[in-house]
Each structure stands twice: as C-alpha cells, then as structure tokens.
Amino acid sequence: PATADLISRLATGRADDLLTTVALATPAPILIAPAMNQQMWRDKACAENIEKLDQLGFKRVGPADGEQACGDIGPGRMEQPQAIAARAAAFFDSGLLQGKRVLISAGPTREALDPVRYISNHSSGKMGYALAQAAVDAGAKTTLVSGPVALETPAHVSRIDVQSATEMLAQCLELSADSDIFIACAAVADYRPADIQSRKIKKGPENISLEMVRNPDIVATVAAAASRPFTVGFAAETNDVVAYAREKMQRKGLDMIVSNDVSNTGIGVNSDENEVTIIWPGGEQVLPQSAKANIARQIIARISAQIEIDPDKKREK
C-alpha cells in the first residue's frame, strides 16, 4: 500500500530503501495504490504530494471510500486487489487484436410497462465492460452497446447507451456490419410487454394479467447476416451448462460461446468474479474462478487464437 509516508518520499525523490530506489531508477510506468486514514488523505501536504506525483507521471488507483480500520469513514481505503490488478494490466497491451474492430453488447435491457415501471434483470454489465477493456488492451477499436448500468466507460472505448432489446438490436445490426468481432454479452430480456401504457398503471384488482411478446434474438440475428463478424455468444445456465451452451452455439450459428453457471451465487451476475467454459466447434476451454478482468483477457486471447486459425473475419452465409 502507498502510505502517506511513501507518497511523500516518492514525491521528493528519496531513495533511502529498496522500494524508493527502484522507483527512482526505473524508466517503467509506476502505479500507486494509496492507503491511509481519511484525514491524512485530506491533509493539504498529502494533497500536494499527490499532485506532484501526478505531474511526475505516476499513475494511481484509488483510494476507495468507506469504513477504515481505525473506525473512521471516508476516502483512504486501499482499492480492491481486483481493481488494482485490472489497472496494472492496462499497462501491458497484448496487440492480439491490433487493427480489429470489436463490438460488444453489455448490461441488462429494460422493457417498459408504463412511464415509470419496467421489466429487467440483475445484470451489472461487469463482464461486458471487462471484455471491452480487454479488447482495447489487445489493440482493438472497441465499441460498447450498453444497457443501463452503474459503470464507468473504459478508456478509449466508444459507448452507446440503449434501454430496450429493440434499441440494442438496431444498434448492434448497424455497427456489426463494420465490425470484425461481435461479442454478445448483454443479458437481453427474452420477452417484452405487448403494449406500453401511456399512463402509470394504477393499483386495482387483486390479480392482473400481462401479455408478453418475444423479443428479437440479437446474437442469432447478427450471426444470420449475409456478411457477418466473428460472432461470440454467452450462455447463462443453471444446469447441464456446457451441453446447453454447445447446443445454443450450433442452433444460432455462432463461432464461439461462453457458458457460466448462474446458480453459483459466488460468480456471474453482480459478482466481481466469474468461472466460465469457452466453447467452439471442436474444442472447449475451462477458465477457473477468477476476477472478471482476468477472465475477459483469456476470452479475448481465445478469440484471437480462433481468428488466427480462420483469418477470414467475414463469414459469408
């Protein structure tokens, strides 16, 4: 952790121990993760030291805000290890997708009932956003079509916000025509209300019925296009995960699918970690539980490997 003392010594160019000596001697980028009491973080001297490090080109992750070991509440907590690892990984561009155009859908969709209510799901969008970061790190020009989420857009990613499945389909169809890779990671609602009420639905009878109609299948629609990108789907299942996912890949004509078991509450939806199986025609790869940023990088690496095997990025139907 970058304590107030360490930050002060780095800011003044001290080299009186191994860590500060290495920091002074290396030409490599340096990332710090501040960790200290909230009042120390707010102190003017500490703020000046942080500003000096920013000017010297140091990179920073955190600090986080919350309850501290001393009982205080405020900024100064060290950021979570997953966030630090993800930020550090951004220093290492793999170049695996250099020059490629990647389109990713992420997050949930919202299907309106009336002006104030909607049907949605618990998707946080974290996996899709991790994939967008990993694609950028691999050198790809990356576009994110996102449902409503509480996440910051990764640096160098173009983001288009949508609400409904119909809006997401329209954007994905338009953008996929000029994309080399499409990763359908969004948790799209399977159904939507047949009619959207123009006024708020009032409380009335004890029971009401709601007519639903099926939403378009975005990944299958993109995969069925005459000239389409390398298309990757996601399959969130609760049983027979790999078997269902492989059948889905074949039925929808996908090049690859990523399956995960959403019955495991420790991974997947709203979690910072995931455990998946990547499936493609003739093979599969299990990725053990890890931070979603790590899982995303491995998925991007597998996509790159499959494209190398079959470099013709556009699949003529």
Give the distance from CA 221 to its chain's centroid: 23
DSSP letters, 20-59, are HHHHHH--S--EE-B---HHHHHSHHHHHHHHHHHHHT-E
| 241 and 309 fall within a common domain | yes
| 302 and 178 fall within a common domain | yes
**Range of 25's domain?**
4-79
Percent of the chain with pLDDT over 90: 68
Structure tokens at 147: 């449902």
Last residue of a domain, one of 45, 79, 113: 79
| 135 and 267 fall within a common domain | yes
Torsion of CA 240, 231, 130, 117, to 10 degrees: -80
> Per-residue pLDDT averaged across 131-158, rounded?
95
| 61 and 115 fall within a common domain | no
| 174 and 43 fall within a common domain | no
| 142 and 48 fall within a common domain | no
| 130 and 38 fall within a common domain | no
| 235 and 267 fall within a common domain | yes
| 136 and 250 fall within a common domain | yes
Structure tokens at 151: 């996440």
Kindly report, residue by residue over 281-293, the tens digit of the pLDDT.
Answer: 989 999 999 889 8
Structure tokens at 86: 């993800």
For residue 190, pLDDT over 70 is answered with yes
Name the average pLDDT for the chain.
91
| 158 and 13 fall within a common domain | no
Q: What is the CATH number of the domain that holds 50?
A: 3.40.50.1950
Structural domains in the chain (count): 2
| 149 and 218 fall within a common domain | yes
Task: Tell me, yes or no, if 70 is annotated catalytic.
Answer: yes
Of 46, 70, 172, 185, which one is the catalytic site residue?
Answer: 70
| 200 and 65 fall within a common domain | no
Kindly report, residue by residue over 231-268, the tens digit of the pLDDT.
Answer: 999 998 888 899 999 999 999 999 999 999 888 877 76
In a domain, 85, yes or no: no
In a domain, 135, yes or no: yes
Q: What is the CATH number of the domain that holds 250?
A: 3.40.50.10300
Kindly report, residue by residue over 42-91, the tens digit of the pLDDT.
Answer: 999 999 999 999 988 898 988 988 888 888 888 888 888 878 887 787 67
In a domain, 21, yes or no: yes
For residue 314, pLDDT over 60 is answered with no
d(CA 225, CA 216): 14
Whole-model pTM: value is 0.73
